[in-house]
Structure 1
């Protein structure tokens, strides 16, 4: 007797996660431009999925602020709100500076700081040059500073902000010069924290975040302009 083969069912939640990942990547890569409108049917055809997982993915993206539902007329990629992003960067700066102050007040440096030192206190030939990988480590550097403070609620709020600004923050690493700047500035900030120079560490951190904020805004405006030109030429 030939045994019956059992096939694993693809759970709706898994399909919804796949749809979410693909749609978010399209938004991040400017395949969809801010203000673009679409229907659930159009997106289902694009992703080759039924409307149910696509709708779940869209509601998740809506909660994160990437899309918005339009009354009786489908969905829209949320227009860029640079004022909102600047406010989020301001809150991020406040949280990270508060974490630095707590870290400098600790009798002993927490293990997380040592882990960060092992990654960022390296000679130039040992630096990570793969830009996507470095971008992830850059994000984690800032999250781990807050996590190392031991304030779980502060870390949770900071993580939420990190998720919301990722769509433009990752663009910072489209310029190779940012690799050297990132290593140098992270090392200076870490050294000041380890040596408990609280005021200097906070000043360095604020300047680092402000420079990043300025760079990503300029790059975002430039990339949006290029994406709109490309869309017009292909129309």
Structure 2
């Protein structure tokens, strides 16, 4: 499958009206990576993307360089660009940092007096099995929102910035965790238990449940193979084909 054909899997992200061409190219290319149109290890040239992203080479190069600085791409002089291959040692470290941030957040939230976020999260996660969303592309976004909400509710903006960066960097593999029905169901069950522990102000229990939840996700990530990435790309293309997109 060619790059333009693979780009048919894209779920377009919103872009601000005042965004520059480089910003638009940046969002577009990052979405290509997150939607598996560009897989870890894939090589491409700037020429491959000019027509697809529909910007000139200058803003395109600016976007690619920004993605390089963020660790999503690597550049090879005279031979083009490459999507950064999966590095599970780095992912392990990022997951460990997630544990530190989120367990600290949970302990703070168990002590907080005002906790309006609990009602909002309960409406999503404390639902009957028949009311659960089972579509991976939707659940992975809800999962991100759940973990971000825990950190956001602490009011610590610097901690939220670090957590948001981690979320971005692990998204490519985290999404694959929601391609399995069993993992989607487990996520609902585990989030519900964490929320109930927080609502009862059981800090030790909430921390234990959260650590187990993240550790389970990290172990699942270890099972990701290149073949799984190719399958994910094909599933995304099939979904859009059925939808007539």
User: What range is the shorter-chain TM-score in?
Assistant: 0.7 to 0.9
Structure with larger Rg? 1
Contact 1:128 1:134 in 2 (8 A): yes
Decide which of 156, 161, 177 is 2:161's aligned counterpart. 156
Contact 2:136 2:175 in 1 (8 A): no
- What do the CA deviations read for 1:136-180 (whole angstroms, capped 9, x no partner)? 111100000011122111111111110111111111111011221
Is 1:203 the equivalent of 2:221?
Answer: no
Task: Report the alpha carbon displacement of residue 19 of structure 1 after superposing the two structures with TM.
Answer: 2.7
Task: Report the alpha carbon displacement of residue 117 of structure 1 after superposing the two structures with TM.
Answer: 1.5
Superposition TM-score, scaled by structure 1 size:
0.82
Is 1:136 the equivalent of 2:122?
Answer: no
Structure 2: which 5+ runs fail to align?
1-16, 233-245
Task: Report the alpha carbon displacement of residue 135 of structure 1 after superposing the two structures with TM.
Answer: 1.2
Which runs of structure 2 are paired with 1:33-182 in the superposition (5 Å)?
33-106=39-112, 108-182=113-187
Q: Distance in 2 between matches of 1:88 and 1:162?
A: 9
Contact 1:171 1:220 in 2 (8 A): no
Q: Distance in 1 between matches of 2:181 and 2:213?
A: 17
Contact 2:46 2:61 in 1 (8 A): yes
Contact 1:109 1:194 in 2 (8 A): no
Structure 1: which 5+ runs fail to align?
1-10, 228-235
Q: Which residue of 2 aligns with 1:6?
A: none
Contact 1:104 1:193 in 2 (8 A): yes
- Aligned pairs, how many? 216
Query: What RMSD over aligned residues (CA atoms) do the two structures have, in Å?
Result: 2.3
Superposition TM-score, scaled by structure 2 size:
0.79
Is 1:15 the equivalent of 2:24?
Answer: no
Q: Distance in 1 between matches of 2:127 and 2:18?
A: 45
Q: Which residue of 1 aligns with 2:194?
A: 189
Contact 1:168 1:220 in 2 (8 A): no
Q: 1:131 to 1:33 in 2, by over 3 A?
A: closer
Q: 1:211 to 1:110 in 2, by over 3 A?
A: same
Structure 1 stretches of 4+ moved >4 Å? 11-14, 224-227
